[in-house]
Amino acid sequence: MTRTPDHIFDEWLVLRAQDGEVAAMNELVRRWNRRLCAHALCLLGDHAAAADATQEAWHDIIKSIRRLADPAAYRVWMYRILSRRCADSQRRAIRHRERSGPEPGAAAEVPDTSPASDARAVESEELRLLRQALARLPGDLRALIALRYRENFPLAAIAIAMDCPSGTIKSRLHEARRQLRALLEPTQGKE
């Protein structure tokens, strides 16, 4: 991963936070909370669950930041903690559904996580179609696409963040692209 001035600034903030400086930790939260929430939403598909998982992840990050040996690894380390919290949330949701049964009238459709209608009017048709296709991917594949293309993580960093072997990440990325292509191809000829 190429080190940008933002990466270097994050490393400096991590070092200050490791020394117990509350303002530095607050700045890290301010800089990263929105991205972590978006990643959790990709994994979980539910705003409330994503917010809860993100809050739990921040608790873990703040509690254990002093044990982070390499401040340059902060971004990947943070996403790994969040991914684990999201997996915990999914396990809890499955146990809850197994105990209580399906909710009456529960929809199987993926919730619309696209921007507000004003922003939709400005978006190009291609972007709208891409967002719809991404929303139809399983959560783990959406998260993988987000880490690769929104966060620009290399495959090795994604493997660490998602706690999977690099080969698995490569094959899942290939599968995500294949599924996106299949979802988008029928719309390509309708112009």
Residue 119 φ/ψ, nearest 5 degrees = -70, -35
Domain count along the chain? 2
CATH assignment of the domain containing 89:
1.10.1740.10
The pLDDT of residue 123: 58
pLDDT score of 172: 93
Confidence of residue 97 (pLDDT cuts 50, 70, 90): confident
| Structural domain range at position 150 | 117-186
Report pLDDT digits (tens) over 29-62.
999 999 999 989 888 888 999 999 999 999 999 9
Residue 109 lies in a domain: no
Residues 77 and 1 in one domain: yes
Q: What is the pTM of this model?
A: 0.69
| Burial label, 30 (beta-carbon count in 10 A; 0-12, 13-18, 19+) | exposed
Q: Based on the domain organization, do 43 and 87 belong to the same domain?
A: yes
Residue that is written with structure tokens 């993926």 in the block? 110
Task: Tell me how far apart the alpha carbons of residues 30 and 77 are, in angstroms, rounded to a whole number.
Answer: 17
Per-residue pLDDT, averaged over 7-32, amounts to 96
**Distance from chain centroid for Cα 69:** 23
CA end-to-end span of the chain: 39
| Assigned domain for 107 exists | no
Domain boundary among 101, 127, 161: 101
**pLDDT top residue among 181 and 125:** 181
Distance CA 179, CA 166 (A): 20
Are 45 and 78 part of one and the same domain?
yes
**Sequence letter at residue 102:** P
User: Please, are residues 51 and 37 in contact by the beta-carbon 8 Å criterion?
Assistant: yes
% the chain with pLDDT above 70: 83
Residue 112 lies in a domain: no
pLDDT at 23: 97
Of 97, 54, 101, the C-alpha closest to 78 is 54
Asked if 130 and 74 sit in the same domain, the reply is no
| Same domain for 94 and 121 | no
* Residue 191 in domain: no
The CATH number of whichever domain residue 166 belongs to comes to: 1.10.10.10
pLDDT single digits (tens) 117-152: 444 444 567 777 887 888 888 888 888 888 898 888
From 20-34, 37-51, 177-191, the region with the lowest mean pLDDT: 177-191
CB 85 within 8 A of CB 56: yes
Domain boundary among 77, 101, 125: 101
Identity of the residue numbered 56 = E
| In contact, 68 and 18? CB cutoff 8 Å | yes
